[in-house]
Amino acid sequence: MSFTIAEIASALGLRAEGDTGLRISAVAEPAQAQASDLALAMKPEFAAQLTAGQAQAAMLWDGADWQSYGLSAALLAPRPRYAMSGLSAMMDAGAGYMPGIHETALIDPTAHLAGGVSVGPFAVIGADVQIGAGSVIGAQVFVGRNSRIGQGALLHPGVRIGHDVTIGDRFIAHFGATVGADGFSFVTPEPSAAEKVRETLGDQAGATAQSYARIHSLGGVTIGDDVELGANACIDRGTVRATQVGNGCKFDNLAQVGHNVVIGTDCLICAQVGIAGSSRLGNNVVLGGQTGVSDNLFIGDNVITGGATKVLSNVPAGRVMLGYPAMKMDTQLDLYKQIRRLPRLIADVATLKKAVSKTDPSD
């Protein structure tokens, strides 16, 4: 698979200069690029490495003096990283999954697979499942009873989709992702120690040992179009109503979405984020890695959390949050600065105490 510089420019809407007939077969970092590679020199500091490689062409920022780097051709992008999205799609040869239905796949007779669906070895597709046209179901994937998956889905090997799950078009799930496991819902005959602590913020007097009874998850999961799940990400089913994920949401590896959670459109959920049950996220929310969201909270549109933030109360729209407990980022950073000054403040107080204690009482 290869493309000319002119073909790439046309497909991505970029400006091409120099020898636009030059053919490109791969992309590479500037220092490692071979003659047939397109070097990704999207910043001046990256472009400085071009002389260490053999690239004849590069993707550069708009206005770059590409000839000064000894190149024969260049693609100039107003926002190179965004252009890389389309470029990477052109250059991606895919996972190489075989078309058709493998002889070892187990498909219930009542399941309906639209045209062009591929099913890999040892996949299991349950009763009354519907899978849209052009979808790829990888090896050892499980799709439970009465679930719906839209067109153009890509389920990599080992993905598990539970029963009564509805998923839109162009869904991507990476290795080991799970949609539709039961929520973590347990209850004790009398108020538990955890409940008492939550009400009293520490006092669990009178709490007794009890066993937990399981609350079954009767709701499903509803996922919109263009959603992507990272490896081992999990979205739990609802207790009564469905857990919901809006269009365009992207989840990194090991993200956990609890039962009854509602997530708006175009949210970015980074690695190891945990969202506890019945919380609601608005649109265009970004949760940095290891962010934790407590249960029954609301996070407004366009909120961003820094890494390892722990959200323990509602967050209004547009806030940038950081820390444990989560505060506005500028406030949290100011507190960090004050904490760093504490050792010097303590030393100054100790010095003052010594000075006061040495003062002559008769003075």
**CATH for 8:** 3.40.1390.10
Question: What length is written for the chain?
Answer: 363
DSSP-derived 3-state class of residue 301: coil
How many Å is the Cα radius of gyration of the chain? 28
| Domain-embedded: residue 344 | no
Mean pLDDT of 293-314: 97
> Which residue is catalytic, options 102, 156, 163, 259?
259
Q: What are phi and psi of 276, to 5 degrees?
A: -75, 165
Residues 120 and 16 in one domain: no
| Domain-embedded: residue 279 | yes
Mean pLDDT of 195-211: 81
Q: How confident is the model at residue 204 (pLDDT cuts 50, 70, 90)?
A: confident
Q: How confident is the model at residue 194 (pLDDT cuts 50, 70, 90)?
A: confident
Residues 134 and 36 in one domain: no
pLDDT > 70 in the chain, percent: 99
- CA 113 to chain centroid: 29
Residues 142 and 58 in one domain: no
pTM of full prediction above 0.95: no
Largest CA distance in the chain: 103
| Domain-embedded: residue 253 | yes
User: What is the CATH classification number for the domain harbouring 134?
Assistant: 2.160.10.10
174 is catalytic: no
- Cα angle 13, 283, 279; round to 5: 150
Quick check: 21 pLDDT over 60? yes
Helix pair angle (80-91, 5-12), 10° resolution: 120
- Model pLDDT for residues 110-128, shown as the tens digit of each residue: 999 999 999 999 999 999 9
Residues 32 and 119 in one domain: no
Mean pLDDT of 189-199: 85
Residues 82 and 113 in one domain: no
Query: Among 88-102, 195-209, 294-308, which range has the highest average pLDDT?
Result: 294-308
| Domain-embedded: residue 331 | no
Range of the domain at 263: 106-322
Give the domain-ending residue among 27, 61, 91. Answer: 91
pLDDT > 90 in the chain, percent: 89
Cα–Cα distances (Å) from 298 to 21, 60, 82, 255, in that order, read 53, 41, 31, 18
Q: What is the number of domains present in the chain?
A: 2
- The pLDDT score that the predictor gives to residue 203 is 78
Tokens of 258: 């609890």
- Cα angle 118, 122, 89; round to 5: 40
- The pLDDT score that the predictor gives to residue 359 is 65
Residues 166 and 306 in one domain: yes
- Model pLDDT for residues 131-172, shown as the tens digit of each residue: 999 999 999 999 999 999 999 999 999 999 999 999 999 999
